[in-house]
Structures are given as C-alpha cells and as structure tokens.
Structure 1
C-alpha cells in the first residue's frame, strides 16, 4: 500500500477527539483541517476494529480471496 497523508497516531487522536466531543464531526474535521468524510471513515474503521466479529469477518474474507 502507499503512504498515508496522516499518520496512524494523528488519525487515532482525531478519532478520540471526535468521540469525546459533543461537537459535530464536520466541525471537528474543519478544525483539524481534514475532510469530514475522511474523519467519518476513520471513526468507522476504528469502530470496526474494536468489534471482535469484524476481525473474524476480515480473516474469513481473506481466506476466501486466497
């Protein structure tokens, strides 16, 4: 895969800020200088990573693809 514009740490910090704030995601994204849909995707990815069944699904998909 290619290089990311934002480090994993930056993405994690942005997700943590969005989760802890009562402000809209679009406002937080604007303050951070990222697209609001990008921040929404980071949040969605973080939520999926926290679900144990998400890991099982991705492993199953990888096995099927192989």
Structure 2
C-alpha cells in the first residue's frame, strides 16, 4: 500500500504473467516481431502480384 500498488493492479500483473508463461499471450517483443512479419508478408504479396502481372505483360508482348 505504501508503494501505491492496489490489489487489483497486483492481480492484473499476475494474470498477465500467467498468460505469458502459459504461452497464450504474446510479450511485447513477440508482438513487435509479429507486426513486423505481417508487414513484410503484405509487401511480399504485393511484390509477387506485381511480378505476376509484369511477366504476363511481357509474355503477351513477345507473342
């Protein structure tokens, strides 16, 4: 109590810790990596689509 920590705050910290330990929750590093990987995946999908269209166009021009 002298530190300004309430019972509810301790309960929330414990619940978060338990979730991270059980693997059902992501910690901040894992969350940041997941966001980075999702962004990279989106960019790669767009690049793949552009390459598909470019190759189809080149194929059409060579015929």
TM-score (structure 1 length as normaliser): 0.32
Relative contact order: is structure 1 or structure 2 higher (C-alpha 8 Å, sep ≥ 6)?
A: 1
